[in-house]
Structure 1
Amino acid sequence: MLTGCGESGPGPEIHDTKYRAVTATGTVLDAAQAPGVCARDEFTGLTWEVKTDDGGLRDARHTYSWFDPDEAHGGELDYRGLPDGGTCDGSACDTSSYVAAVNETALCGHADWRMPSRDELGSISDPRRTTAPPTINTRHFPLTRNAEYWSGNDYQFQYDAAWVWSFHNGMDRVEWKKTPRHVRLVRGEPQRVVRVKD
């Protein structure tokens, strides 16, 4: 694995030890305890949402269309994506509405949750698990779907497409913004996050 500026980094075995469970109030737990309401990546400094199976706002089965109301839309092309195009509960079923709804709950004591970059999604994808997906540490991220998750990065060469990360094969690709996909939110400033090659 490589870090940002060509430095050598740890191998994939770091996925076994780099996470710590976080409580609903933001307390980071001992390494022996998992899962938490959130998961802290001690290597990158990021904290991740952990999904539920209760049918509520953060249920792992929910899907969302990619939508960012701040994207350009005044000319011939509308870069914002599609509002409310997924299947969910607790918010409108698009990425922007979901971020806003989770922030209203102050998940794990914070209200600065956001969509992850594709590089950040890549940082929690365990390449050793491509033959037994999902490609993630399922002790800290239970209920992860063997499927694609939206990143916050749209695709610069196509106005109505954005990047997804597959936790089936551990790779990224471009998808139409209107297509329902899963979401996992993140917070914090990333450190030592690997740049995903185009």
Structure 2
Amino acid sequence: MSEVILHITAGKGPQECRWVVAQLARAFAREAKGIGLECELLDGAEDLSPSILLRIVGDGASPFAAQRIGTNLWIGNSPFRPTHKRRNWFVGVALAPEPETISDLREDDIEYQAMRASGPGGQHVNKTDSAVRATHRPTGLVATAQEQRSQHANRKLARLKLAIMLDERRGQAKDDARRSQWQAHQELERGNAVRAYTGSKFVLKA
């Protein structure tokens, strides 16, 4: 049984794109369930989160993810600015890196601190010190995790979020000499969507 973690992000897009991130995660979960795959939201439960981590488990998880990696488009009127003329909203989908493959991320360099969870996340929130703050000492990057019910699971999730941060940092450094390509990556690739959804029910466009 295979497992993949998708990173859905609004990039530098406006609040509409953050809204699309949440709706797209729900659409992916619905599609995954429809073909017998398990889907779990690992991070990004708060309102208008700029990014979401979605865990897909089951035979066929990798092909399912491959069909969705890249720029995804939602076509519809802004839920926040009904008179806005723009109808095309783009978000990015990528595979989250495996922490073990990030050479800059050594366990000895991470400082973990337990803390009390807050905000959305279930009945366990605010009742235990299950949330975790992870600090990468060499860079000062900080990641927090509270979505999971155990401190161990949140520790693992915080480490994954640090891996994503370091991977993005490394990508930015590599592409400094090719600034136009990096800018395109940051803003998401317009007009070249791998999937397009339309309407309030997020129906996949043929």
TM-score bracket for this pair, using the shorter chain length? under 0.3
TM-score, scaled relative to structure 2:
0.24
Task: Give the number of the structure whose alpha-carbon radius of gyration is greater.
Answer: 2
Greater helix share, 1 or 2?
2
Question: Greater relative contact order (Cα 8 A, min sep 6): structure 1 or 2?
Answer: 1
